[in-house]
Amino acid sequence: MASPTVGVLALQGDVREHLAALSAAGVRAVPVRREAELAAVDGLVLPGGESTTMSTLLGVFELLEPLRARLAEGLPAYGSCAGMILLASEVLDGRPDQQQLGGLDVVVRRNAFGRQVDSFETDLEVTGVEGGPVRAVFIRAPWVEKVGAEVEVLGSVPHVEQAGESAGRAVAVRQGTVLATAFHPELTGDGRVHKLFADIVREG
Ligand code: GLN
């Protein structure tokens, strides 16, 4: 696919930053709020924000089932932070009524970093991202506690002193055409993770 259209779920969260990062990665980037808009994209970004709010709004906008169906059919997707939580098959410390989209066979712990500090930054290597470590910004972020057999861990928190309990935790994962990071590459101006996702969409 030479020039795919990639949507950003635009119910809540840092939509604009993802649209800008996708445009910079050379794809057509569009906001998605309606089922018809979802049907027209070749890939979808689930932004950072608040997963419980997005979960409620997915119900209000009647996007829950259409989105689950497209993910089950293999729609390439990239979730950052809250987006990772939405894609996960299971969430620890979630709100009981919080809905999961599936697509990523992982168990994540919500607000995992928040138990020690609200935000944390570090450099970490991400498999598939060339050119040195990525600056990872964690904002009340989840981490991945368990991965299914088909999930590849692309990056983990390095064992630096400030990492505390998060040291060694998986924070970037991929399962086929589904990518997720607990951190926010859309906030740093480093376009390499979005470029990786754009390549996944082009190949997918
Ligand atoms: N804590 C948020 C949640 O549960 C995620 C925070 C973020 O996306 N920066 O969805």
Q: Which atom of ligand 1 is nearest to the CA of 47?
A: 8
User: What are the b/e assignments for 43-70, b being 16+ CB within 10 Å?
Assistant: bbbbbbbebbebbbbbeebebbebbbeb
164 pLDDT tier (thresholds 50, 70, 90): confident
81 lines ligand 1 (CB under 6 A): yes
Q: What is the distance in angstroms between the CA of the first residue and the CA of the last residue of the chain?
A: 8
C-alpha closest to that of 86 among 65, 107, 72, 100: 100
Domains belonging to the chain, first-starting first, are 5-203 (3.40.50.880)
149 pLDDT tier (thresholds 50, 70, 90): very high
111 lines ligand 1 (CB under 6 A): yes
Pairing of strands 88-92, 5-9: unpaired
* Mean pLDDT (whole number) for 155-179: 95
Rounded Cα–Cα distance for residues 36 and 143 (Å): 32
Share of the chain above pLDDT 90, in %: 92
Ligand 1 test: best mutation among 17, 52, 80, 81, most atoms within 8 Å of CB? 81
43 lines ligand 1 (CB under 6 A): no
Q: Residue 116 pLDDT more than 70? A: no
161 pLDDT tier (thresholds 50, 70, 90): confident
* Mean pLDDT (whole number) for 89-104: 96
How confident is the prediction for the chain on average, in pLDDT?
A: 95
- Between CA 152 and CA 176, with CA 143 as vertex, the angle to 5 degrees is 25
80 lines ligand 1 (CB under 6 A): no
